[in-house]
Amino acid sequence: MQPRSVLRTSFHFGAVALLFASVSVAAQAQMPRLPEFHISSPSGSYLAARIARSERDVSSASAFYRSVLRTDPKNPDLLELTFLVTLQSGSAEESFPLAERLIAVDRSHRIARLALGVKALKANQFAQARTHLAIAGQGPIADLTATLLTGWSWYGSNNFKNGIAQIDKLSGPEWYGLYKNLHAGLMLDLANQRNEALKRMERVRSIDPNSLRNVDAYARILARAGRVEDAEKVYGDFSRALVRHPLIDSALAELKTSGKLTPLVSNAATGASEALYGLGSALSQEQGGEDLGMVYLQLAIYLNPEHPLAVVALGSLFEATKKYEMAIETYDRVPESSPLKRKAMIQRALNLDVLEKKDEARERLAALAEEKPDDIEGMFAYANVLRAGKRYTEAADGYSKILKTVGEPKREHWAIYYYRGMSYERAKQWPLAEKDFQQALKLSPDNPQVLNYLGYSWVDQGVNLDQALEMIRKAVSLRPKDGYIIDSLGWAYYRLGRFEEAAAELEKAIVLSPSDPTINDHLGDAYWKIDRKLEAKFQWARALENKPEPEELPKIQLKLKEGLPGETVPPRAEDPKNPDKG
C-alpha cells in the first residue's frame, strides 16, 4: 500500500456526539467564491444538489442548494443544509450570512453560533465572539470547543487569567485534561508565565507523550524559558523513539542556529485555530466524525490560512473520502516556506497517480527523489508508483537504494523488503523475491500481508506446502474479513487437490470481494472440480464481466467454451485498491 502521511493525534474520542444534522459530505479546499450553477427548475437544482452531495462534491452541492434556497428562502431545513455544505466546502465567508439567517430561525444552532464566533474572533471582536460561543456549547465536543475558544477570546481581550479560569472550571470527561492543559499552557507561555506554562505541559505529556504537536509545544516553551538543552533532548527523544518529522527537524535546526524558538501560537486567532485543528484532526479519524472534523478543519484554516498541519489534515481527509482532486488543491495550499511542503508534494503526486495521471506522478516523484536522495519517504513513494505501474525492475532498484540508505534493517523496514520482494516476484526473479519475503517475515513475523504472499507463492509453485498452508491460515486468522487473503487459502486447498474445502473458502472470499475477477475465476475452477459445472460457468462469466487482466481474458473465455482444460494456474487475487493484498 502506498504510504500516507496522515497526521493523527494519538488521542481517542469515545462516542462522537455530532453537533449537526446528518450531512454525509466531504469538503473542498477553500475558494475565494463558489461557482454559480443555473438549472431550469428548483426541483432540478434540488436533485442536482442531492446528487452532488452524495458524490461528496460539496462545492457544487452548495451552489445548487443556494439556487433552490433563493426560491424558498424561509425553508429552515434547506437553509441549514445550504449553510453546512457551504461551510464544509471551505467558503467560510459565504457561510456567515447563512449562519446569521439560521440563528434568526434557530437561536441555539450550535454550528452556526460556532462559525459566527470564529468570524468575530478573527475580526478581534472578542466580546461578540463570547456571546456566540456561550450558545454554541452543548455536549462533550461542543462544550470543550466553546470553552477553549472562549478562553482564547479572553486572551485577545488582554485578560489571560480569565481565559485560563474559564478553561479550568470546565468539567467533563477525563480526556478534556489534554486539551485544557495544552491551551492553558500556550496562553501562559504567551503571557511570559513560563514556569506555570511548563507545569501545564508536563501534565499534557503525562497524558499523551507521543503526540507531535504536544512535543513541539513543550520543547518550544522549554527553549523560551532558556532551557535549550532540555528542548533539544525532548526533540531528539521523540525522533529516536518514533519517527523523524520535518517540523521537528526544522525546529532543531532553528534551535541550534539561533538558540531561540517562536511560540507555537502567537495570538488569540492562531490559538483558537490550534484548538479547532486538534479537535478536527481527531474527529476526522473517528468513524462518523468526518463531517464535523471537516467543519473544524475549515474553520481552523479560516483563522490561520498557513496552519500547515491543518491543511495537510484536510488533504488527508479528502483522500480518505476519495476526493483526490480536492486533496491536490489542498496540498497546493501548504506554504512554500513550510517544512511540510515536501510531504504535501509527495502526497499530491500520489493523488495524481490515483487519478491515472501516472506519467505526471512519476515525473514529480522522480524530481523529488533526485532533489533529496537521502529522504526515504520520497524514494519510497516513487518506488511504490513504479511498482503500481508494473515497472517492476525499476521499482526493485528504487527499494534497493532505500535499503542502502537505511543501513541496518529494523522492524519498521519490513515493508521495504516486502515491496521489493513483490517487485522481484512480478519481474520473475523468484530467488531474490523469496529472500526478501523471508527477511520481511523475520522483521515482522505476524504480518498477514507477508505471510499470505509468501505462503501463496509457495503453494503456487507446489513447494513447502505444509508450511505454506499454515502461513496462509495464520494470515486469515489475523485478517478474517479480508477476501483476498481468504482467496489464497481457498486456492491453496485447490492446489492441494482438496476441492471441496477450496470451494468453501472461495465462497467466503466472494462474499467479501464479489467484484474481483480472479476470485470469481478461482471459484469457477473449484466448482468445476466438484462437478458443479453450471455454477462454474456462471462464475467464469462473472469474472469476464469484472474485467480481468488482459492476459487472463482468453483463458477464461476458453474455459467458458470448453470447460477446465486441466491444471491451469490463475494468478493471485489482487485488490485493485491495494495490490499488496495478493
How many of the other CB atoms lie within 10 Å of CB of 73?
10
The answer on pLDDT for 171 being more than 60 is: yes
Q: Which of 49-63, 65-79, 83-97, 435-449 is the least confident region?
A: 49-63
352-397 pLDDT, tens digit per residue, is 999 999 999 999 999 999 998 888 899 999 999 999 999 999 999 9
C-alpha cell at 193: 508565565
User: 472 and 492 in contact (C-beta within 8 Å)?
Assistant: yes
Q: How far is the C-alpha of 405 from the C-alpha of 142, rounded, in Å?
A: 47
Q: Identify the band that residue 573 occupies on the pLDDT scale cut at 50, 70 and 90.
A: low
- Position 93 scores a pLDDT of 95
Q: Which of 53-62, 168-177, 415-424, 447-456 is the least confident region?
A: 53-62
Whether the domain at 1-6+139-355 and the domain at 463-581 fall into the same CATH topology: yes
The answer on pLDDT for 508 being more than 90 is: yes
Name the residue with cell 439567517. Answer: 101
358-445, CATH topology level: 1.25.40
Q: Which residue has the higher pLDDT, 5 or 79?
A: 79
Alpha carbons within 13 A on the beta-carbon side of 549: 13
Radius of gyration, alpha carbons of the chain: 27
Q: With residue 8 as reference, give the H or E element that holds it.
A: none
Q: Identify the band that residue 69 occupies on the pLDDT scale cut at 50, 70 and 90.
A: confident
- Position 29 scores a pLDDT of 31
Residues 6+ apart with CB under 8 A from 529: 494, 499, 502, 503, 564
CA distances from 210 to 225, 237, 562 (A): 22, 10, 61
DSSP secondary structure letters along 224-267: HTT-HHHHHHHHHHHHHHS---HHHHHHHHHHHHHS----S--S
* CATH 1.10.760.10 holds for 463-581: no
276-316 pLDDT, tens digit per residue, is 999 999 999 888 888 899 999 999 999 999 898 999 999 99
Q: How far is the C-alpha of 555 from the C-alpha of 553, rounded, in Å?
A: 5
- Position 7 scores a pLDDT of 23
Q: Identify the band that residue 11 occupies on the pLDDT scale cut at 50, 70 and 90.
A: very low
DSSP secondary structure letters along 421-478: HHHHHHTT-HHHHHHHHHHHHHHSTT-HHHHHHHHHHHHHHT-SHHHHHHHHHHHHHH
210-222 pLDDT, tens digit per residue, is 889 999 999 999 9
Query: Given its phi and psi angles, is residue 76 left (phi above 0), alpha (psi -120 to 50 degrees) or beta?
Result: alpha
**% of residues, the chain, pLDDT over 90:** 69
Mean pLDDT across 139-167: 95
174-183 pLDDT, tens digit per residue, is 999 999 999 9
- Position 40 scores a pLDDT of 52
20-137, CATH topology level: 1.25.40
The answer on pLDDT for 10 being more than 50 is: no
- Position 466 scores a pLDDT of 87
- Segments making up each domain of the chain, as ranges: 1-6+139-355, 20-137, 358-445, 463-581
Q: How far is the C-alpha of 373 from the C-alpha of 415, rounded, in Å?
A: 19
Q: Which residues pair with 575 in a beta bridge?
A: 578
Q: Identify the band that residue 462 occupies on the pLDDT scale cut at 50, 70 and 90.
A: confident
**% of residues, the chain, pLDDT over 70:** 90
Query: Given its phi and psi angles, is residue 196 left (phi above 0), alpha (psi -120 to 50 degrees) or beta?
Result: alpha
φ, ψ dihedrals at 34, nearest 5°: -75, 150
Q: How far is the C-alpha of 236 from the C-alpha of 216, rounded, in Å?
A: 11
Residues in the chain, total: 582
- Position 581 scores a pLDDT of 41
Q: Identify the band that residue 17 occupies on the pLDDT scale cut at 50, 70 and 90.
A: very low
Q: Which residues pair with 578 in a beta bridge?
A: 575
Q: Which residue from 342, 423, 419 is spatially nearest to 380, judged by alpha carbons?
A: 419
The answer on pLDDT for 31 being more than 50 is: no
- Position 435 scores a pLDDT of 97
Mean pLDDT across 562-569: 68
Cα angle, residue 274 at apex, residues 296 and 300 outer, rounded to 5°: 35
Mean pLDDT across 536-548: 94
- Tell me the pLDDT of the chain averaged across its residues: 87
1-6+139-355: CATH number:
1.25.40.10
Q: How far is the C-alpha of 470 from the C-alpha of 189, rounded, in Å?
A: 58
Mean pLDDT across 327-351: 93
User: 272 and 302 in contact (C-beta within 8 Å)?
Assistant: no
- Rounded to 10°, the helix 414-426/376-388 angle is 30
User: 434 and 455 in contact (C-beta within 8 Å)?
Assistant: no
Global confidence as pTM: 0.79
Q: Which of 166-170, 268-272, 468-472, 566-570 is the least confident region?
A: 566-570
